[in-house]
Structure 1
Amino acid sequence: MSSFKPYLSAIEAPNLAEVQALPGLTLLEFGTEWCGHCRAAQPLMAQALASPTPWQHLKIEDGPGRALGRHYRVKLWPTLVLLRDGQEVGRLVRPTSEQDIQTAMSKA
């Protein structure tokens, strides 16, 4: 699944109840299109998710007043929240290498 898809807007993004009901492994990526750190992380995300993976990848646009980002206490972008059956099992803030992302995914 390509990481170059756009971030889901507040209208498109799932709400907390929908996220908590997701089965299996989910990687929530909080950020924005204009964030330099988020743009720099996109090739790393694409590499980490290039081979077949059980991870569902959701890119969520974050900002002030966005309930989902506030629930997960997102402070810096990008923040990756790793979920197993809707429950947080890992987190990575501002990844700087594909290996960081893969390591976090393997530990979840």
Structure 2
Amino acid sequence: MATSLQLCQRQLTMVIDFSASWCGPCKFMEPVLNAMAAKFTDVQFVKLDVDELPDVAQEFGVQGMPTFVLLKKGKEVDRVVGAQKNDLEKKIEKHRALVAAA
């Protein structure tokens, strides 16, 4: 079975959604992320609850929710803090375009 790091390294572009069940802005972003996942089928979206996985949140330096970390081949290339759906979508499109151009 592949580890999560191996999966991150294989996947070209991944968005990790650091959220919490009690976080109002996180709940607001949930349907937005579902729509983005349907739109950007070449991007993997992963949701992590900071209360269930505090070590992972700490490893990524997450201080507020929601935080969206964009990874390419396992390396962080960008992040969005807060319920900034337009900013998140622009950054996803930017990094997808860079993959297509490579």
| TM-score, normalisation: structure 2 | 0.76
User: Is the partner of 1:53 in helix, strand or coil?
Assistant: coil
Q: Does 1:105 align with 2:92?
A: yes
Q: Does 1:61 align with 2:49?
A: yes
**Runs ≥4 in structure 1, deviation > 4 angstroms?**
none
Q: Distance in 2 between matches of 1:16 and 1:78?
A: 21
User: Is the partner of 2:38 in helix, strand or coil?
Assistant: coil
1:85 alignment partner AA: K
Is there any run of 5+ residues in structure 1 with no aligned partner, and where? 1-13
Is the 8 Å Cα contact of residues 15 and 68 (structure 1) preserved in structure 2?
Answer: no
Higher helix share: 2
Note closer, same or farther for the CA distance 1:19–1:95 as it changes in structure 2 (3 Å cut).
farther
Q: Give me the CA root mean square deviation.
A: 2.4
Is there any run of 5+ residues in structure 2 with no aligned partner, and where? 96-102
Is the 8 Å Cα contact of residues 18 and 66 (structure 2) preserved in structure 1?
Answer: yes
